[in-house]
Amino acid sequence: MSGDLRVGGRARAAVLVEPGRYEVRDYPIPEPPRGGAIVAITRSGICGTDKHTWQGWTEQYGGSTTPRTIRFPLIQGHENVGRILAMGGAITDFEGQPIREGDRVVVAPNVSCGTCWACTHLLPYTLCERTEDYGNTLSAAEPPHLLGGWAEAMVVLPGSHLFPVPDDLPDDVAVMAELMAVTVGLDRARSWSVMPSEPFLVDDTVVVYGVGPLGLCHVIKARMLGAGTIVAIDRSPERLAFARELGADVTLDVGTTTAEERLARVRDLTGGRGADVVVEAAGVPEVVPLAIDLLRPGGLLIEVGNFSDGGEVLISPHRHLCSKGIRLMGVAGEEPGAYLPAMRQLARHRSANPAIDRFVSDRFALADADIAMRRSIEPSSRKVVFAP
């Protein structure tokens, strides 16, 4: 990050001008909007959605039944940590405490309208009918341009949620906050467990299918919430090994086992029943029927991987749904109320689980956006971030 960033100056950004092609451009740093701010970015992660956009998957639904097409040029980046550079008047964090220049914050990726049916009925803010997303729907084509985190500075619009970073949480861990907030499906599952037969209970068996960065965060959260046996499934030996460091008890390699062998192993671990909870975090539609097969009768599938439209799959409504009586939870994204608890728990667990501090595997400059993106797709990577 340049030391002379200031309002009225200019900030460099890695700009996706079209799928598959980045350019480094610079944009003016505007006065902060009233009720908003300018944040000097210190870390910004590459998410699975960013990879899909780079690959040309340019339609997202985001709380609506009508797809929205991503507009280019685009500054990606919605997992953002930075310091307040300037403010458009007095602003507060998510808990109503004053924000000051120089404060270190995480910026939530979505800006909701506050007036649609979903907003007024207090549904998750990701279901807002007119939601806008930093690094996704907010294009760099028009001012204020700097609306994504793969830049030296980012404009924070009024209505955005800001979360103060604990002093003892380094940027490389704070950048996990958005992903950890997406694990709110496990928190919600705990709140559903008012009957002994309902997952997710303490000591339940949890399968995390796909342990890229999002799946790894679900391993961390499942362990925090008292899961029993945690099974991690992936095709990357490196990620499976890291999942064990983070708390997984059993790992199954897709490259060396068949679907039938994985099903048999999970049933062996559960007395023949199947897992209480399966988290589908692979982001591959074809995995969904396999994930349902791994569930016990009455088990819970948390679908959290498919944030881009990768197509459709066939399921049997009788065999997959009715005959097993499964519960199905679709997670549309993170929730604001989950950020501060996530960061506080990460700070609390760092000493007990030092692997958390190694969650980020690679750091890149903005000029190396293409290299960074290609690295993030390699199975041996974990979380790849920009450090502007």
Rounded to whole angstroms, how far apart are CA atoms 240 and 371? Answer: 24
| 165, two tokens | 């970073």
Mean pLDDT score of the chain, rounded to an integer? 94
Task: Return the half-sphere exposure (C-beta side, CA atoms, 13 A cut-off) of residue 33.
Answer: 14
Residue 46, helix vs strand vs coil: coil
Lowest mean pLDDT among 54-58, 170-174, 257-261, 301-305: 54-58
Contact between 279 and 273 under an 8 Å Cβ cutoff? The reply is: no
What per-residue string of b and e applies to 180-215 under the rule 16 or more CB within 10 Å gives b? Answer: bbbbbbbbbbbeebeeeebbbbeebbbbbbbbbbbb
Residue 201, helix vs strand vs coil: coil
By CB atoms closer than 10 A (0-12, 13-18, 19+), residue 49 is buried
Residue 85: closest CA among 100, 105, 101: 101
Contact between 201 and 378 under an 8 Å Cβ cutoff? The reply is: no
| pLDDT tens figures, 298-345 | 999 999 998 888 889 999 999 999 999 999 999 989 999 999 999 999
The mean per-residue pLDDT over the stretch 247-266 comes to 98
Rounded to whole angstroms, how far apart are CA atoms 43 and 76? Answer: 13
**Segments making up each domain of the chain, as ranges:** 10-176+359-386, 180-330
By CB atoms closer than 10 A (0-12, 13-18, 19+), residue 276 is buried
Other CB atoms within a 10 A radius of the CB of residue 310 amount to 14
Give residue 198's pLDDT: 86
Lowest mean pLDDT among 72-76, 158-162, 305-309, 369-373: 305-309
Helix (H) or strand (E) holding 220: helix 213-224
- pTM summary value: 0.94
CATH homologous superfamily of 180-330: NAD(P)-binding Rossmann-like Domain (3.40.50.720)
Give me the DSSP letters along 278-295. Answer: EEE-S--TTHHHHHHHTE
Other CB atoms within a 10 A radius of the CB of residue 352 amount to 7
Long-range contacts of 352-359 (CB under 8 A, 24+ apart): 353/220, 353/245, 353/246, 353/247, 355/242, 355/245, 355/246, 356/173, 356/176, 356/220, 356/246, 357/170, 357/172, 357/173, 358/242, 358/382, 359/172, 359/173, 359/176, 359/213, 359/216, 359/383
Q: What angle do CA 67, 305, 354 make, to 5 degrees?
A: 140
| 252, two tokens | 């199954």
User: How far is residue 29 from each of residues 108, 184, 232, 351, 363, measured CA to CA in Å?
Assistant: 20, 34, 44, 39, 24
Contact between 362 and 355 under an 8 Å Cβ cutoff? The reply is: no
The mean per-residue pLDDT over the stretch 31-55 comes to 96
Question: CA 25 from chain center: how many Å?
Answer: 26
Q: Please, which pLDDT band fits residue 1 given cuts at 50, 70 and 90?
A: very low
Share of the chain above pLDDT 70, in %: 98
Residue 3, helix vs strand vs coil: coil
Rounded to whole angstroms, how far apart are CA atoms 110 and 113? Answer: 10
Lowest mean pLDDT among 41-45, 62-66, 116-120, 246-250: 62-66
Whether 121 shows a pLDDT value over 80: the answer reads: yes
**Higher model confidence: residue 296 or residue 58?**
296
Angle between helix axes 369-377 and 48-55 (nearest 10 degrees) is: 110
Query: For the domain bounded by 10-176+359-386, which CATH number is listed?
Result: 3.90.180.10
Whether 132 shows a pLDDT value over 60: the answer reads: yes
| pLDDT tens figures, 170-195 | 999 999 999 999 999 999 998 887 77
What per-residue string of b and e applies to 353-370 under the rule 16 or more CB within 10 Å gives b? Answer: eebbeebbbbebebebbb
| 97, two tokens | 């405490």
